[in-house]
Amino acid sequence: MKICHISDIHLGYGQYYLKSRFDDFANSLMWSRDLILEEDPDLILISGDFFHYQKQRYVTLRYAREFFDSIKKDKVAAITGNHCHTSGTTWIEYFNVDNDFPFVHKINWGANMTDALKSVTMDNELNIFMFHDGLRNFGGNISKKHQEILTSEFDYVSLGHIHLPYNVDNIYNPGCFESTSTAYWDYAGGAFVGEINDINFIPYPHRRKTYRIKTKSTDQQEIIDLLKAFDDGCMIELEANITNSMKKRISNALPNILYIILKKPDTSDRKTTTTKDDIDIYEEIYYNKSGVAKLVVETSFNPIDPSNIVDML
Ligand SMILES: [Mn+2]
């Protein structure tokens, strides 16, 4: 049986109130649709947090509709996550992907792991377990004891919730295609695809490029020149001592950078002069920079009205 396992799409999230970020999350879903069409799996596992919010705007629903209209809905097994769970009609019911495969044990958000495992009847040749939580080692709540049960009792464990991809034995978590916070910038999510005993990880290739930069310079022009070296459309976490007024001037000088997240520097060893050595760009960033396709240049964007986003919570 060939599967395709995705999770945590967070469709509808307009991060930083940017339409570009809304588009990024939507585009990542469309990439997974193309992958599913190409791979034509027998089973499509969606392990929760398909949507970022419980209530959706029409524009968000349109993307979801396009996704579910393209793929084979009768092959979907899906669960809700903490973001998209609701006591009312869930998106799983709404899109009519509420398929019951006897060999897929689906545990929706809010269920207790011990109870969930007790209720599982293992009378099938193949047994798949779906749960929207992570292993302890990766920041989740699944205990070592439960992990052992999952490893010994199931053929494939389809997890979600933790936005970094990992695989331990038969337990798989594909992560989030896009990054929902700077904490996940270095962990590109993707999809697990293949036969149950031969699973491959396919990373999402179009992730918004992100860079972490540290500088001890307080010279506005110097910081602008430093940032100018980065690609159009990227997001930057800038650790520097910058005032609010400087921030505005810097972002005006750099219209092609999508977003700059300012981080307060560690001031314990501050220097007044700047040398090349003071500019510490992580090695990994150079690596990423050469390997990722260039994104569309965005010189302007229409931010989503923040009040709309608050309404959806
Ligand atoms: Mn999530």
Span 239-267, average pLDDT: 78
> Do 172 and 259 reside in the same domain of the chain?
no
Compute the C-alpha angle 165/15/214, nearest 5°. 75
> Do 190 and 220 reside in the same domain of the chain?
no
CA separation (Å) from 132 to 40, 49, 50, 229?
Answer: 24, 8, 11, 40
Cα-to-centroid distance, 83 and ligand 1 (Å) = 7
Give the domain extent around 246. 209-313
Q: How many domains does the chain have?
A: 2
> Do 141 and 88 reside in the same domain of the chain?
yes
Tell me the range of 29-38, 108-117, 276-285 where mean pLDDT is highest: 29-38
Phi then psi for residue 224, to 5 deg, are -60, -45
> Do 135 and 236 reside in the same domain of the chain?
no
Closest by Cα among 232, 237, 281 to 257: 232
The per-residue pLDDT for range 60-94, each reduced to its tens digit, is 999 999 999 999 999 999 999 999 888 889 999 99
What predicted TM-score, i.e. pTM, was given to this entire model? 0.82
Cα-to-centroid distance, 49 and ligand 1 (Å) = 5
Q: At what angle do helices 58-70 and 19-39 cross, to 10 degrees?
A: 10
pLDDT at 295: 22
> Do 254 and 272 reside in the same domain of the chain?
yes
Closest by Cα among 49, 35, 56, 60 to 7: 49
> Do 60 and 197 reside in the same domain of the chain?
yes
pLDDT at 266: 57
Output the average pLDDT for the chain. Answer: 82
In order, the DSSP letters of 34-83 are HHHHHH--SEEEEES-SBSSSS--HHHHHHHHHHHHHS-GGGEEEE--TT
The Cα–Cα gap between 171 and 90 comes to: 26
Instruction: Find the range with the poorest average confidence among 11-15, 150-154, 294-298.
Output: 294-298
Span 28-47, average pLDDT: 98
Q: Is pLDDT of 275 > 70?
A: no
Q: Look at residues 203, 226, 250 and tell me which one is the last residue of a structural domain.
A: 203
Cα-to-centroid distance, 180 and ligand 1 (Å) = 8
CATH number at residue 103: 3.60.21.10
Span 127-143, average pLDDT: 92
Cβ(251)–Cβ(260) under 8 Å? yes
> Do 21 and 143 reside in the same domain of the chain?
yes
> Do 180 and 197 reside in the same domain of the chain?
yes
Cα-to-centroid distance, 278 and ligand 1 (Å) = 36
> Do 157 and 282 reside in the same domain of the chain?
no
Cα-to-centroid distance, 67 and ligand 1 (Å) = 19
> Do 71 and 126 reside in the same domain of the chain?
yes
Instruction: Find the range with the poorest average confidence among 194-208, 243-257, 298-312.
Output: 298-312
> Do 216 and 120 reside in the same domain of the chain?
no
Q: Is pLDDT of 256 > 80?
A: yes
Q: Is pLDDT of 139 > 50?
A: yes
> Do 221 and 299 reside in the same domain of the chain?
yes
Cα-to-centroid distance, 82 and ligand 1 (Å) = 7
Cα-to-centroid distance, 65 and ligand 1 (Å) = 20
